[in-house]
Amino acid sequence: MPEWMTVALWIAAAVVLATIALGLVRVERGPSNGDRMLAAQLLGTGAVAVLLLLARAADAPALLDVALVLALLASVAGAVFVRRLGVQPVQRGQDRTAEDGP
């Protein structure tokens, strides 16, 4: 693998990580719990992508197994959420006051 390819893959992994970090703003803002859960789903997919890129960049195929485990479990938290809690509708005006801190 040429040197520039390794560099490019590391940068790609960092960019994906920074990109999905935008989803954290949605976790913070909500307003409904469904919004927070779906943002976590996005971060899970992003983490899988980062692992796949690192597996190649660092030449560590074992990381493919870590990605496989994450992919297998990607739906578990969402399924528990829907079965146990469900999306709670947001009362207008309440989501603002429910925010803690700026």
Partner 1 sequence: MTGEDVRSALSLTLIGAGIAFFLAGSIGVLRLPDLLSRLHALTKADNLGLGLVVLGLTLQADDAFQVVRLLLVWLLVLFASSVACYLVAHSATHANGEPTPTVGPDNPSMDKRDGR
Partner 2 sequence: MAAEVHALDFVLVVLLLWLGWRALASADLFKAVVQFIVFGLLVSLAWVRLGAPDVALAEAAIGAGLAGALLLDTLARLGRKGATDEVRPLGLTPARAGIALASLGLVILLVASVLALPESWPGLTAPALQQLGASGVTNPVTATLLNYRGYDTLLEIGVLLLAVLGVWILDAEAALPAAPADPMLSLLLRVLLPLTVAAAGYLLWVGAHAPGGAFQGAALLAAGGVLWHLARPLSLPASRPVRAAVVLGFAVFLGVGVATAVFGGGFLTFPPAYAGAVILLIEAAAMVSIAVIMVALFVGRPAQGTK
Coil/strand/helix, residue 70: helix
Q: Residue 41, class by beta-carbon neighbours within 10 Å (0-12 exposed, 13-18 middle, 19+ buried)?
A: middle
User: One symbol per residue from 68 to 97: x for binding partner 2 (CB under 8 A), - otherwise; what is it?
Assistant: xxx-xx-xxx-xxx-xxxx-x---------
Coil/strand/helix, residue 41: helix
What are the residues binding partner 2 (CB under 8 A)?
7, 10-11, 13-14, 17-18, 21, 24, 27-28, 30, 33, 36-37, 39-40, 43-44, 47, 50-51, 54, 60, 62-63, 65-66, 68-70, 72-73, 75-77, 79-81, 83-86, 88, 98, 100-101
